[in-house]
């Protein structure tokens, strides 16, 4: 194992620890979403709520596209391109907000049921709500990174917060890849 | 330092204001969307949530994070607390040792509160008939006894892990010191919420909080109960994240995984459970909370809900949780036995991996709590077998302990007595386990006092006795002083004898047919005598714990100054001046040998030195009488 004396300080060492901590957080968080998915199928194996299919496709498209721009922002900063980074992260941020408007602002009020109606509506609102909460925290995270990036705090060598925001954003995106079919596509609508 | 600047008081003040703001905001929102202004439960829930957040602002643990968000770099947290003396334990500190002691003191405090609850209802149960408790009051007390103890044990586990792990692996602090402080302080509003349930109608559904009971009873206490446990769970998750990162990233040079102290191994296994499974009890409690506050229907069968879903989610955490409680304790046993036996730990690698095996198997056993719940019959058999499988790695540990003390040069100071007591009690708890895991017998003893006897034996043997052993063992390191050996031994015998009477008679009561969670019993059942014995024995255990608490508190101030490394341990934390505050290791050390090679001439664990055991003076010397 590690026989050489490591300096337990310095940007790289700390970033490596932070990265591990971030991944552990994501593993932990995945259990919440896993639990929600299991609950959804435990309660209703062959059924799904009646939802606006077009809206579902559009918000999914918006969120997946945002991940593409997040990737570009991350790549830009690792090449030291601060300008490209700020531009791309702004696009990601806007797409994230559009997703939130689509789900919380449009899908929730127009759904043909309310949160307290039955178990299926409960699981729908809890799953989308929990995911939206994560998107919202991701948007806040992106804004912080955007603002600090504009101040010129990130460089080719020192940009772990950007990487962390990217990992988190992709994670939230991947969760939706599972949630979208579970809520919009699988089972017969009731 | 003025008292109102101390984090605890500042936080509580902020919490009060925050709760008020939360209540006002909720009322305004309710008016805005056209609901009647006052509905106590949702308003108080949001108020409490605001209060908890305000508490965290008030303690100032999050100050650095906000600076980072604004792009301001901060230096590493100061190693010395701003507060002096005892005040440092109620003020924010980022030193893992201070946080460990904060955890430990809080744990002892709330375990005592939970113990007091037990004493109240044991007095009620000492004779048949209802004397002074109402059935609802009784049920609230047993529920709180359970959940507050669980919170207290989680804090105690965090105390041992926080204090010991960085010292043992040669790190100067945890990987994320600020997160560490955050994870401790979030417990305080959680405890306030849990205890506030007494004033808010009580929680008379058992510590498990099963719906539909916990969902339909119109008592605000339930919402506070769920919220409080949720926050303690958050602390547990963050602590797990921090400890795993610390163990993986910050070990001393030369400390490969198979040269880590066993306690570090068991912490690693424990924290893997904490990190992942805890989310599911959080989710299940959140769902009941949504059912109560938003009128959702997860567990309402009339609207397509299913109460068994709750039990599945709940036990997916709550069974592995018992391994969170006992694995660190079992690690302490394996850690101390070689020191007091002056022999290498028998089968080090097997013991290390057995913790991992218990943690892993623990994820596949949860439904054994549900054999009588009406779940699918065919699922009972696989869960019986997976549960029995836990006995294999646990057996490895027992085998190793026996092998370690076999022909060792034993000495019987207080920590060793507690370790041996822990082994014997955990054996009782372990042997009474398989009847619960086997469907045929479980159908008879499910929800009886037999179960109560069983899990108290596992908790005392797996957590409480090892915790007390650890507190006495590392007492010289923590305080620089020696505890009173005589009072330590008196406390031990009180606890041990009291506990055996309590547990065995509980089991017998259960076999005679007495169900748990009932405030009264029929004299015709023939358990009057047993119930009386359990009550008296419970008080004796309480007395033993009181002796322990008094001993450490008094000795911390007046005890004899301890010599360096009084147990002649090989572990690195004993080779630095005591008591340790601030920086742990002036210069990094290197691991050059095996951790437990006691009695092997010329073997060292670390480059800090070691203890050479010559046959002439091999046993740990009796400390001078410090009474």
- Helix (H, G, I), strand (E, B), or coil: what is residue B513? coil
Structure confidence at residue A6 (pLDDT): 47
List pLDDT tens digits, range B336-386: 999 999 999 999 999 999 999 999 999 999 999 999 998 888 999 999 999
Span B441-447, mean pLDDT?
94
Q: What does each C-alpha distance from B406 to B338, B341, B393, B395, B409 come to in angstroms?
A: 11, 9, 20, 16, 9
Work out the minimum CA distance from B60 to partner chain A, whole angstroms.
21
CB B206 within 8 A of CB B517: yes
Residue B448: phi and psi, rounded to 5, are: -110, 180
Structure confidence at residue B603 (pLDDT): 82
- Helix (H, G, I), strand (E, B), or coil: what is residue B207? coil
Rounded to whole angstroms, the Cα distance separating B548 from B471 reads 9
Q: Which two tokens stand for residue B186?
A: 């979030």
Which of A27, A119, A147 is facing B276, going by the closest CB pair? A27
Nearest CA in chain B to A35: B280
Residues of chain A that touch chain B, judged by Cβ-Cβ distance less than 8 Å: 1-6, 8, 16-17, 20-21, 24-25, 27-29, 31-32, 35-36, 39, 42-44, 115-123, 125-126, 144, 147-148, 151, 153
The better pLDDT of the pair B597, B499 is held by: B499
CB B462 within 8 A of CB B543: no
Rounded to whole angstroms, the Cα distance separating B361 from B566 reads 38
Verify whether the Cβ–Cβ distance B241 to A24 is below 8 Å: yes
Which of B253, B257, B287 is facing A3, going by the closest CB pair? B253
Verify whether the Cβ–Cβ distance B241 to A35 is below 8 Å: no
Verify whether the Cβ–Cβ distance A28 to B242 is below 8 Å: no
Verify whether the Cβ–Cβ distance B305 to A21 is below 8 Å: no
Which of B253, B279, B291 is facing A4, going by the closest CB pair? B253
Nearest CA in chain B to A120: B304
Which of A16, A25, A36 is facing B241, going by the closest CB pair? A25
Instruction: Centre a 10 Å sphere on the Cβ of residue A5 and count the other Cβ atoms it contains.
Output: 13
- For chain A, how are helix, strand and coil distributed in percent, rounded to 5? 75, 0, 20
Which of B176, B254, B257 is facing A3, going by the closest CB pair? B254
Structure confidence at residue B80 (pLDDT): 66
Specify burial of residue A54 (Cβ count, 10 A radius: 0-12, 13-18, 19+).
exposed
Closest Cα partner for B163 from B255, B97, B81? B97
Q: Name chain A contacts of B237, Cβ cutoff 8 Å.
A: 28
Does B625 have pLDDT greater than 50? no
Work out the minimum CA distance from B253 to partner chain A, whole angstroms.
5
Rounded to whole angstroms, the Cα distance separating B323 from B332 reads 14
Does B256 have pLDDT greater than 70? yes
Verify whether the Cβ–Cβ distance A120 to B304 is below 8 Å: yes
CATH architecture of B93-617: Up-down Bundle (1.20)
Structure confidence at residue B626 (pLDDT): 44
Verify whether the Cβ–Cβ distance B253 to A5 is below 8 Å: yes
Structure confidence at residue B73 (pLDDT): 86
The H or E element spanning position B98 is: helix B96-125
List pLDDT tens digits, range B205-234: 999 999 999 998 989 999 999 999 999 999
Does B612 have pLDDT greater than 70? no
Rounded to whole angstroms, the Cα distance separating B437 from B443 reads 10
CB B221 within 8 A of CB B171: no
Does B305 have pLDDT greater than 80? yes
Does B618 have pLDDT greater than 70? no
Structure confidence at residue B150 (pLDDT): 96
List pLDDT tens digits, range B457-480: 999 999 999 999 999 999 999 999
Verify whether the Cβ–Cβ distance B257 to A1 is below 8 Å: yes
Which of B71, B275, B312 is facing A27, going by the closest CB pair? B275
Q: What is the pLDDT of chain B when averaged over all its residues?
A: 92
Q: Which two tokens stand for residue B91?
A: 């003020």
Q: What is the 3-state secondary structure (H, E, C) of A83-144?
A: HHHHHHHHHHHHHHHHHHHHHHHHHHHHCCCCCCCCHHHHHHHHHHHHHHHHHHHHHHHHHH
Q: Which of B175, B183, B245, B248 to mutate to test the interface with A (most CBs of A within 10 A)?
A: B245
Residues 6+ apart with CB under 8 A from B18: B50, B51, B52, B53, B54, B55, B57
Q: Which of A18, A31, A131 to mutate to test the interface with B (most CBs of B within 10 A)?
A: A31
Instruction: Centre a 10 Å sphere on the Cβ of residue B378 and count the other Cβ atoms it contains.
Output: 7
Q: Confidence class of residue B619 from pLDDT cuts 50, 70 and 90?
A: low
Q: What are the start-end ranges of the H helices in B197-257? A: 213-216, 220-249
Q: What does each C-alpha distance from B532 to B110, B128, B498 come to in angstroms?
A: 26, 10, 13
Q: What does each C-alpha distance from B264 to B16, B329, B565 come to in angstroms?
A: 39, 11, 20
Work out the minimum CA distance from B306 to partner chain A, whole angstroms.
7
Work out the minimum CA distance from B133 to partner chain A, whole angstroms.
37
Q: Name chain B contacts of A122, Cβ cutoff 8 Å.
A: 287, 290-291, 296-298, 305
The better pLDDT of the pair B616, B135 is held by: B135
Rounded to whole angstroms, the Cα distance separating B5 from B17 reads 16
According to DSSP, residue A182 is labeled: I
CB B143 within 8 A of CB B205: yes
Structure confidence at residue B11 (pLDDT): 95
The better pLDDT of the pair B564, B458 is held by: B458
CB B468 within 8 A of CB B333: no
Rounded to whole angstroms, the Cα distance separating B446 from B450 reads 8
CB B253 within 8 A of CB A2: yes
Structure confidence at residue B99 (pLDDT): 95
Q: Confidence class of residue B578 from pLDDT cuts 50, 70 and 90?
A: confident
Work out the minimum CA distance from A53 to partner chain B, whole angstroms.
24
Verify whether the Cβ–Cβ distance A122 to B248 is below 8 Å: no
Q: What is the 3-state secondary structure (H, E, C) of B38-66?
A: CCHHHHHHHHHHHHHHHHHHHHCCCHHHH
Verify whether the Cβ–Cβ distance A3 to B69 is below 8 Å: no
Identify the structural domains of chain A with CATH numbers, from first to last.
58-189 (1.20.120.80)
CB B541 within 8 A of CB B499: yes
Structure confidence at residue B66 (pLDDT): 94
Instruction: Centre a 10 Å sphere on the Cβ of residue B599 and count the other Cβ atoms it contains.
Output: 19
Residue A117: phi and psi, rounded to 5, are: -75, -55
List pLDDT tens digits, range B3-51: 888 999 999 999 999 999 999 999 999 999 888 888 889 999 999 999 9
According to DSSP, residue B521 is labeled: -
Q: Name chain B contacts of A133, Cβ cutoff 8 Å.
A: none
CB B487 within 8 A of CB B550: yes
Greatest alpha-carbon span in chain B: 84
Q: Name chain A contacts of B71, Cβ cutoff 8 Å.
A: 147-148, 151, 153
Verify whether the Cβ–Cβ distance A29 to B251 is below 8 Å: no
Structure confidence at residue A69 (pLDDT): 97
CB B180 within 8 A of CB B242: yes
CB A119 within 8 A of CB B300: yes
List pLDDT tens digits, range B110-159: 999 999 999 999 999 999 999 999 999 999 999 999 999 999 999 999 99
Per the DSSP assignment, residues forming a β-bridge with A48 are A189
Rounded to whole angstroms, the Cα distance separating B246 from B177 reads 10
Verify whether the Cβ–Cβ distance A5 to B171 is below 8 Å: no
Rounded to whole angstroms, the Cα distance separating B157 from A5 reads 31
Spell out the domain ranges in chain B: 1-69+87-92, 93-617
| Buried/exposed B189-223: b ≥16 CB within 10 Å, e otherwise | bbbbbbebbbebbbbbbbbbbbbbebbebebbbbb
Q: Confidence class of residue B69 from pLDDT cuts 50, 70 and 90?
A: very high
Verify whether the Cβ–Cβ distance A119 to B275 is below 8 Å: no
Reported ipTM:
0.93
* Chain centre distance of CA B563: 30
Closest Cα partner for B395 from B369, B357, B421, B366? B357
Verify whether the Cβ–Cβ distance A29 to B304 is below 8 Å: no
CA-CA-CA-CA dihedral for B449, B450, B454, B455, to nearest 10: -30
- What is the distance between the terminal CA atoms of chain A, rounded to a whole angstrom? 58
Work out the minimum CA distance from B330 to partner chain A, whole angstroms.
25
Q: Name chain B contacts of A43, Cβ cutoff 8 Å.
A: 298, 304-306, 309
Which of B280, B294, B313 is facing A116, going by the closest CB pair? B294
Structure confidence at residue A4 (pLDDT): 38
Q: Which two tokens stand for residue B154?
A: 């989680």
**Mean pLDDT (10-residue bins), chain A, 190 residues:** 52 93 97 96 92 95 97 95 95 97 95 89 96 97 95 92 96 97 92
- Helix (H, G, I), strand (E, B), or coil: what is residue B75? coil
Q: Name chain B contacts of A148, Cβ cutoff 8 Å.
A: 71
């Amino acid at each position: 194992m590690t026989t050489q004396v490591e300096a337990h300080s310095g940007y790289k060492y700390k970033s490596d620890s932070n990265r591990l901590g971030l991944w552990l957080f994501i593993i932990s968080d995945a259990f919440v979403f896993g639990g929600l998915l299991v609950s959804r199928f435990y309660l209703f194996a062959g059924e799904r709520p009646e939802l606006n299919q077009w809206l579902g496709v559009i918000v999914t498209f918006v969120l997946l596209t945002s991940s593409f721009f997040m990737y570009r922002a991350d790549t830009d900063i690792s090449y030291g391109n601060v300008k490209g980074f700020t531009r791309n992260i702004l696009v990601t941020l806007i797409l994230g907000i559009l997703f939130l408007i689509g789900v919380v602002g449009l899908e929730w009020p127009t759904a043909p049921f309310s949160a307290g109606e039955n178990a299926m509506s409960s699981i729908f609102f809890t799953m989308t709500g929990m995911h939206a909460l994560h998107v919202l925290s991701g948007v806040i995270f992106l804004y912080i990174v955007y603002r600090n990036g504009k101040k010129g705090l990130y460089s080719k060598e020192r940009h772990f917060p950007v990487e962390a925001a990217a990992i988190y954003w992709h994670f939230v995106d991947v969760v939706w890849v599972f949630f979208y079919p579970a809520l919009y596509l699988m089972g017969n609508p009731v | 330092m003025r008292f109102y600047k101390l984090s605890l008081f500042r936080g509580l003040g902020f919490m009060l204001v925050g709760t008020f703001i939360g209540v006002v905001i909720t009322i305004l929102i309710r008016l805005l969307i056209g609901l009647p202004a006052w509905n106590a439960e949702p308003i108080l829930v949001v108020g409490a949530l605001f209060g908890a957040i305000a508490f965290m602002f008030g303690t100032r643990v999050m100050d650095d994070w906000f600076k980072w968000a604004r792009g301001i770099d901060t230096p590493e947290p100061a190693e010395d607390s701003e507060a002096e003396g005892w005040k440092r334990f109620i003020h924010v500190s980022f030193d893992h040792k201070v946080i460990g002691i904060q955890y430990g003191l809080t744990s002892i405090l709330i375990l005592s509160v939970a113990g007091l609850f037990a004493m109240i209802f044991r007095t009620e149960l000492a004779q048949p008939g209802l004397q002074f408790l109402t059935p609802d009051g009784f049920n609230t007390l047993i529920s709180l006894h359970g959940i507050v103890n669980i919170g207290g044990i989680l804090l105690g586990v965090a105390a041992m892990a926080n204090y010991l792990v960085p010292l043992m692996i040669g790190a100067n602090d945890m990987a994320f010191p600020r997160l560490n402080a955050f994870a401790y302080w979030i417990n305080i509003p959680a405890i306030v919420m849990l205890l506030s349930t007494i004033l808010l109608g009580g929680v008379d559904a058992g510590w498990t909080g099963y719906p539909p009971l916990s969902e339909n009873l119109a008592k605000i206490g339930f919402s506070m109960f769920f919220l409080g446990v949720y926050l303690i769970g958050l602390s547990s998750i963050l602590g797990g994240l921090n400890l795993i990162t610390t163990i993986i990233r910050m070990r001393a040079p030369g400390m490969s995984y198979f040269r880590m102290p066993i306690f570090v191994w068991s912490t690693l296994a424990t924290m893997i459970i904490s990190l992942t499974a805890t989310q599911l009890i959080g989710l299940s409690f959140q769902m009941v909370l949504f059912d109560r506050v938003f009128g959702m229907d997860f567990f309402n069968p009339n609207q397509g809900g299913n109460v068994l879903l709750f039990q599945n989610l709940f036990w997916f955490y709550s069974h592995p949780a018992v391994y969170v409680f006992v694995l660190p304790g079992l690690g302490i046993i394996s850690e101390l036995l070689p020191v007091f036996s002056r022999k290498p730990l028998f089968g080090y690698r097997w013991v290390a991996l057995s913790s991992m095996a218990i943690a892993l198997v623990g994820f596949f056993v949860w439904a054994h709590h549900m054999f009588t719940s009406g779940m699918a019959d065919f699922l009972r058999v696989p869960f019986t077998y997976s549960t029995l499988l836990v006995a294999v790695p646990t057996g490895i540990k027992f085998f190793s302990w026996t092998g370690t003390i076999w022909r060792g040069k034993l000495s019987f100071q207080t920590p060793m007595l507690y370790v041996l007591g822990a082994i014997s009690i955990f054996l009782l708890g372990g042997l009474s386990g398989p009847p619960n895991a086997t469907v045929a017998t479980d159908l008879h003893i499910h929800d009886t006092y037999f179960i109560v006897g069983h899990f108290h034996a596992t908790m005392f043997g797996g957590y409480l006795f090892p915790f007390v052993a650890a507190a006495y063992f590392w007492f010289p390191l923590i305080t620089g002083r020696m505890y009173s050996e005589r009072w330590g031994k008196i406390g031990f015998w009180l606890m041990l004898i009291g506990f055996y009477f309590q547990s065995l008679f509980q089991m017998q009561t259960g076999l005679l047919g007495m169900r748990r969670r009932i405030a009264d019993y029929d004299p015709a059942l023939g358990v009057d005598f047993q119930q009386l014995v359990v009550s008296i024995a419970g008080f004796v255990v309480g007395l033993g714990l009181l002796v322990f608490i008094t001993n450490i508190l008094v000795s911390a101030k007046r005890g004899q100054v301890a010599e360096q490394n009084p147990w002649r341990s090989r572990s690195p934390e004993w080779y630095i001046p005591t008591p340790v505050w601030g920086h742990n290791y002036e210069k990094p050390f290197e691991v050059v040998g095996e951790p437990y090679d006691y009695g092997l001439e010329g073997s060292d664990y670390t480059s800090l030195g070691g203890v050479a055991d010559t046959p002439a003076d091999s046993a740990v010397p009796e400390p001078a009488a410090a009474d």
